[in-house]
With several copies, the nearest count.
Chain A
Amino acid sequence: MAELGVELAGVRLRNPFLLASGIWGESGASLAGAYRAGAAGVITKSIGAAPREGFPNPTIESYGSWGMLNAMGLPNPGIDDYPKEVEIALASGAPVIGSVFAGSAEEFGRLAERMAALGVVALELNLSCPHAEGFGTEVGGTPPEVERIVREVVDRVRIPVIAKITPNTTDAPALALAAERGGAAAVSAINTVRALAVDVRLRRPVLAHGLGGLSGPAVKPVGLACVWQIFERVRIPIVGVGGISTGEDALEYVMAGARALEVGTAVAVEGAGAFGRLARELSALLDELGIARLADAVGVAHAAR
């Protein structure tokens, strides 16, 4: 049986699969459920300084099996109300990674301190939400912004900081390099891909917010390209995310350069059972290919070039 355990920025994970931010992360019980079902760790919903209702509905549109469009608008209870959810999640034994978003480096720093104080094992900075005005890519879309925010946070907390990078850029590695310079322990890629749907009968965008972000199988090739390019230019570990729904998808990401993985849409589609299935599929695939430890496969596709 292949060894699926990996170490990410000093955090030991029993397998590479983390619950992606924004899926099930509003409540501690849901986070705990993901861990109990087999996730190696869970990333909270991105939490901000104040409660936010997010955008009005419709907030999601499905494309059937290949993709999902959403513009939730970063709804979250706010950091003041969130501690009890983290507590419940931690009580399950799950390594919890706290995701935060903010409108400035200073605010990121303050939030990060508060999140870190809750006992999370690492932080993920959402620098990449493609649709919320004043947040996400609007504050973390360029290398200098990424570097400044990461540095501010790294200076204020003692736990590893993961910078989550947008695919809506000409140059993802430049953003990852900026995160590395700022002191990030890892980068995760990708957040959703900017997208839109129109209802021709109603002559309007489907989502209340208009623009949203695409996730699910259709973005796997996009995420793989980002991870691939980042791996060629940065040294810190990469967390691969985007469209992972089979063990083979997972291994594609690992061979492209990811050390750990996040799963979002597939968990929503299938339920928590997705974690167990992914681990079983990945394990069987590694055995078939004679790979003893998943960690040995990180980035190997680059050697073939």
Chain B
Amino acid sequence: MRTVVRVVERIEETPSTVTLRFPYAPAAEPGQFVMLWIPGDDEIPMSLSYVEGDRKGVTVKAMGATSRHVLTIAPGDWIGLRGPYGNRFDLAPRRLLIVAGGSGAAVLAPGAERVVAGGGSVVVALGATRAPELLFRQRFAEMGARVEVATDDASAGFAGYVTGVAERLLAEEPFDAVWTCGPEVMMRKVLALADARGVPTFGSTERHMKCAIGMCDACAFGPFHVCTDGPVFSSGQLRSVPDFGVFHRDAAGRRVRF
């Protein structure tokens, strides 16, 4: 069941990242993703960065040909959608640490909004290569989260990887849970840091996706399929998967080291 809709809004979030908003009625939860079809081009997995109501959104960072193509999409253009697919974040934590790198903030923001709305406190460790690339810095601030940033080039906040910020926060404050999304090597480090403090981690993982319905095995992740068993996995699951942070598979199913 595929739906083809016209994009109604395009928001430039960072120099390399754009949010598209579109009418899409199916109910969705924070953590879930859609398959976004760019007619004439590829169909790629995208987390829903806006899950509420009928006007959903995705926030896309330019990585390769198709995601760059997404950045050229304007209001009025057709896109294809199917989903939402996958599981969701558990929204129970009262004191939540979010560690986001790259486009990872896209999948984390809707859940953070829910936690704050439910009376929880959220601290966000937000990393990017440079200050203008810090995704949803303002959105997190506006929802009432505390944002601590890190940039590789020291143009804002902590100079270096966001895991540095996460490490400090975990040392300074008590958290019920850590949510993380970003490069897998980063997530692996976050898992180790949180494990050391005994804080449960939930990581949103990415694997090559084709069917998105647990059929084709493209997204195999140890014994799991990211599309149906994930994309959100718990600390225990992540630790049990030898692939985590070590290798993913390319479109042919070959193992590729990170």
Q: Which residues of A contact B (CB under 8 A)?
A: 22-27, 29-30, 32-33, 45, 51-54, 56-64, 68, 70, 72, 75-78, 81, 84, 199, 201-202, 204, 206, 208, 264-265, 268-269, 271, 304
**Assuming A51-B252, A53-B250, is B4 touching A202 (CB within 8 A)?**
yes
Per-position binary interface string of chain B over residues 15-51, scored 1 when its CB falls under 8 Å from any chain A CB and 0 otherwise = 0000000000000000000010101111110000000
- 19 new A-B contacts, CB < 8 A, other than A56-B42, A56-B43, are A23-B217, A24-B215, A25-B217, A26-B217, A27-B249, A30-B217, A51-B253, A54-B210, A58-B37, A58-B80, A60-B215, A77-B249, A201-B78, A202-B80, A208-B43, A264-B215, A265-B215, A269-B213, A271-B214
The answer to whether B1 and A24 have CB atoms under 8 Å apart is no
Chain A CB within 10 Å, residue with most, of B1, B216, B253: B253
**Assuming A23-B217, A57-B43, A206-B2, is B211 touching A30 (CB within 8 A)?**
no
Contacts of B220 in A (CB 8 A): 24, 26-27, 29-30
Main secondary structure of the interface of A (DSSP, over half): loop
Q: Which residues of B contact A (CB under 8 A)?
A: 1-2, 4, 35, 37, 39-44, 78, 80, 82, 209-218, 220, 222-223, 225, 228, 249-255
The answer to whether B217 and A304 have CB atoms under 8 Å apart is no
The 10 closest A-B pairs by CB, nearest first: A268-B215, A57-B43, A27-B220, A26-B217, A53-B251, A26-B253, A51-B252, A77-B253, A77-B254, A58-B43
Contacts of A22 in B (CB 8 A): 216
| Minimum distance in angstroms from B42 CB to a CB of chain A | 5
Q: A204 vs B80: C-alpha distance in the bound complex, in angstroms?
A: 12
Contacts of B254 in A (CB 8 A): 51, 77-78, 81
| Minimum distance in angstroms from A77 CB to a CB of chain B | 4
Contacts of A58 in B (CB 8 A): 2, 35, 37, 43, 80
Contacts of A84 in B (CB 8 A): 255
**Assuming A23-B215, A204-B40, A268-B211, is B222 touching A29 (CB within 8 A)?**
yes
The answer to whether B253 and A57 have CB atoms under 8 Å apart is no
List 28 A–B pairs whose Cβ atoms lie within 8 Å, in order of A's numbering: A24-B215, A26-B253, A27-B249, A27-B253, A29-B220, A29-B222, A30-B220, A45-B217, A57-B35, A57-B37, A57-B43, A58-B2, A59-B43, A59-B211, A60-B213, A62-B1, A70-B215, A72-B210, A75-B216, A75-B251, A76-B253, A77-B252, A77-B254, A78-B252, A81-B255, A199-B4, A201-B4, A269-B214
The answer to whether A61 and B2 have CB atoms under 8 Å apart is yes
Contacts of A33 in B (CB 8 A): 223
The answer to whether B217 and A60 have CB atoms under 8 Å apart is no
Contacts of B250 in A (CB 8 A): 53
The answer to whether B216 and A26 have CB atoms under 8 Å apart is yes
Contacts of B212 in A (CB 8 A): 60
| Minimum distance in angstroms from B252 CB to a CB of chain A | 4
Residue of B nearest to A207 (CB): B43
Pick from B1, B218, B225: contact of A75, CB under 8 Å:
B218
| Minimum distance in angstroms from A118 CB to a CB of chain B | 16
| Minimum distance in angstroms from B23 CB to a CB of chain A | 13
| Minimum distance in angstroms from A289 CB to a CB of chain B | 11
The answer to whether B211 and A75 have CB atoms under 8 Å apart is no
| Minimum distance in angstroms from B183 CB to a CB of chain A | 22
Residue of A nearest to B228 (CB): A271
| Minimum distance in angstroms from B207 CB to a CB of chain A | 11
| Minimum distance in angstroms from A30 CB to a CB of chain B | 5
Contacts of A268 in B (CB 8 A): 211, 213-215
Contacts of A271 in B (CB 8 A): 214, 228
Q: A206 vs B252: C-alpha distance in the bound complex, in angstroms?
A: 21
**Assuming A26-B253, A201-B78, A202-B4, is B213 touching A62 (CB within 8 A)?**
yes
| Minimum distance in angstroms from A257 CB to a CB of chain B | 20
| Minimum distance in angstroms from B24 CB to a CB of chain A | 14
The answer to whether B39 and A204 have CB atoms under 8 Å apart is yes
The answer to whether A53 and B252 have CB atoms under 8 Å apart is yes
| Minimum distance in angstroms from A202 CB to a CB of chain B | 5
The answer to whether B217 and A59 have CB atoms under 8 Å apart is no
Q: A68 vs B78: C-alpha distance in the bound complex, in angstroms?
A: 23
Contacts of A29 in B (CB 8 A): 220, 222-223
Pick from B39, B44, B223, B249: contact of A202, CB under 8 Å:
B39
Residue of B nearest to A45 (CB): B217
| Minimum distance in angstroms from A15 CB to a CB of chain B | 21
Contacts of B223 in A (CB 8 A): 29-30, 32-33
Contacts of A25 in B (CB 8 A): 217
**Assuming A77-B254, A202-B39, is B213 touching A26 (CB within 8 A)?**
no
